[in-house]
Amino acid sequence: AQSVTQLDSHVSVSEGTPVLLRCNYSSSYSPSLFWYVQHPNKGLQLLLKYTSAATLVKGINGFEAEFKKSETSFHLTKPSAHMSDAAEYFCVVSDRSGGGADGLTFGKGTHLIIQP
């Protein structure tokens, strides 16, 4: 079974300061991990993905995440927050090895607030 824990339901940072959104996962297999972002009244947009290649993954809009197997973590970071980053962020795991067909397992989300 797979699961995801997002350690913070809300994170507030000032514009221009670093962002850290924390995620821990549990998986029986070698997982694929994703971060998605959801802006108010919008669908989900893929930020980045990890699928067992490089452990440091770069995504869109300056975000990146590091896969740490020993810590079962996949934290999302950005060096400098922008007002447009205010949104809900979801850490997501899929541990099917390609032959399976399960959907994604989502964390409960972290609401990112950017203070001017």
Partner 1 sequence: DSGVTQTPKHLITATGQRVTLRCSPRSGDLSVYWYQQSLDQGLQFLIHYYNGEERAKGNILERFSAQQFPDLHSELNLSSLELGDSALYFCASSSGQGRHEQYFGPGTRLTVT
Q: CB burial class (10 A; 0-12, 13-18, 19+) of residue 8?
A: middle
CB of 44 to partner 1, least distance (A): 4
Structure tokens at 100: 């399976």
Rank residues 85 and 109 by Cβ distance to partner 1 and give the closer one: 109
First to last CA, the chain: 41
Determine which residue in the list 15, 62, 64, 106 makes contact with partner 1, applying CB under 8 A: 106
**Measured distance CA(38)–CA(105) in Å, rounded:** 16
Determine which residue in the list 13, 23, 25, 32 makes contact with partner 1, applying CB under 8 A: 32
Q: Which stretch binds partner 1 (CB under 8 A): 11-19, 32-40, 58-66, 78-86?
A: 32-40
Rank residues 13 and 105 by Cβ distance to partner 1 and give the closer one: 105
User: What value does the CA radius of gyration of the chain take, rounded to a whole number of Å?
Assistant: 14
Contact 13, 81 (CB under 8 A): yes
97 sits near partner 1 (criterion: CB under 8 A): yes
Determine which residue in the list 22, 59, 72, 104 makes contact with partner 1, applying CB under 8 A: 104
**Considering only CA atoms, which of 91, 116, 83, 79 is closest in space to residue 27?**
91
Q: Which stretch binds partner 1 (CB under 8 A): 7-15, 46-54, 58-66, 74-82?
A: 46-54
